[in-house]
Amino acid sequence: MEYIKAFLVGGAICAVVQILLDNTKLMPGRVMVILVVTGTILGALGIYEPFTEWAGAGAGVPLTGFGNALFKGVKEAIDKEGFIGIFKGGFTASAVGISATLIFSYIASWFFDSKMKS
């Protein structure tokens, strides 16, 4: 059941993004920033965390989840260390995700090459 929820929620978020890409002139970079900022705002409003508990990876994996993670990280850091937390919190929260992405992509580049589009 959790798999189905994750699938449907994650898919719904991606479908909204696809609609934006197909029907607006928004560039992909702008759409990604919209997702992250939306997640951050919904996190700050206290909506995204309960949403993630219900939907699991379906809410955690899309970029909105990343926005929420940034919010949580910055909030914790401010609570613990005050003003400086604004600068520290985001990096601490996202460090694992970003590092993993870089490391795995690099390893993948050892085995795979660019392919032409057909």
77: tokens are 């850091």
DSSP annotation of 62: S
Determine if 114 is a binding residue for another protein (CB under 8 A): yes
Per the rule left: phi > 0, alpha: psi between -120 and 50, beta: everything else, 56 is: left
Indicate whether 98 belongs to the interface with another protein (CB under 8 A).
no
**DSSP one-letter code for 113:** -
Footprint of another protein on 27-86 (CB under 8 A): 28
Least distance to another protein from the beta carbon of 48, Å?
Answer: 26
| Interacting residues with another protein between 3 and 32 (CB under 8 A) | 21-22, 25, 28
> Which residue among 46, 83, 110, 116 contacts another protein (CB under 8 A)?
116
In angstroms, the CA 78 to CA 21 distance is 36
Instruction: Rank residues 82 and 114 by Cβ distance to another protein and give the closer one.
Output: 114
